Amino acid sequence: MKSTEFITESVNDNGIFKAVFLSGLPGAGKSSIISKVNDGAVDPQVINTDRTYEFLLNKNNTTANATAWELFGPRSKVMNKSVLFNAINAMRPMFIDGTSANSGSLIRRSGLLESMGWDVAMIYVNIELETAIERIQQRERKVDTDFVQHIYAEMEANKAFYKSKFGSNFIEVDNNANNFNALESKTYNTSNAFFSSNIKNPIANKHINALRDANEAYLVPTIYSAEYINKVINTWYQN
């Protein structure tokens, strides 16, 4: 028997159909931001290929570089597919964490979410290359300096493009001073305002009305088939 109370809550949860992409160098503080800005009112699902990639790097005792990504990147993506499927199916708010150096992949992913109803935003964590390298050298995670320099160059080249894509939902924060109290306060306020705002995407509102009419809690099977969502996820992780 379906639980009407549960179903009612699912389509009225805070932050549904909202996704924030995080862009920043390794050492910029993205993971720390995510861990501290959530006060429980909104519980975003973290989509982070870097976490499983880091696990594979440590397991194989190697450093992060272009060659390592070719070896372990695809495996880390597979490990995240089920997490992403569940987040999409439940309309969860999301933090999509990563370096975001590849603008094509990021824009493709934001477009996929928008096509399914999500409002999207970006938090761009600004940090100088030298500061990032200094912090990385103090961490356990091994990251090749040349790889970080490559990511930095790509991010700087893409910054204006991201601003034009996300518009008023492009949020830039500066973490060069390593002042996490100020950083977390600004990031919390801006991200919480986005997650708590009314849904603007008309596709989402159409889906919500359909789910309420059908007394259903998830996108599958009323809105999308599981096969369709898996197809979206496979496109998400295309190189």
Determine contact, residues 75/128, Cβ cutoff 8 Å: no
pLDDT in tens, the chain (239 residues): 343 333 445 787 889 999 999 887 766 667 767 776 665 567 888 888 667 777 788 888 887 777 887 888 778 777 788 889 999 999 999 999 865 557 888 899 999 999 999 999 998 888 777 777 777 777 665 567 887 787 788 888 888 999 999 999 998 887 766 555 656 667 777 888 899 899 999 999 999 999 999 999 999 999 999 999 999 999 988 86
As a whole number of angstroms, the distance between CA 105 and CA 77 comes to: 13
Contacts of 169 (CB under 8 A, 6+ apart): 119, 120, 121, 122, 194
As a whole number of angstroms, the distance between CA 195 and CA 39 comes to: 12
In sequence order, the β-bridge partners of residue 6 are: none
Domain limits, the chain:
4-236
Strands (E), the chain: 18-23, 45-47, 94-98, 119-126, 170-174
**Residue 184: its pLDDT value, please?**
62
3-state secondary structure at position 220 = coil
As a whole number of angstroms, the distance between CA 120 and CA 109 comes to: 10
What single string gives the DSSP state of each residue in 43-84? -PEEE-HHHHHHHHHHHTT--BSHHHHHHHHHHHHHHHHHHH
Work out the number of other CB atoms within 10 angstroms of the CB of residue 121: 23
Architecture of the domain defined by 4-236: 3-Layer(aba) Sandwich (3.40)
**Residue 1: its pLDDT value, please?**
35
Please tell me the pTM assigned to this model: 0.81
Determine contact, residues 27/135, Cβ cutoff 8 Å: yes
Work out the number of other CB atoms within 10 angstroms of the CB of residue 204: 19
Contacts of 52 (CB under 8 A, 6+ apart): 75, 76, 79, 80
Determine contact, residues 25/151, Cβ cutoff 8 Å: yes
**Residue 41: its pLDDT value, please?**
67
**Residue 125: its pLDDT value, please?**
82
Angle in degrees, CA 33, 129, 24, rounded to 5: 30
**Residue 200: its pLDDT value, please?**
96
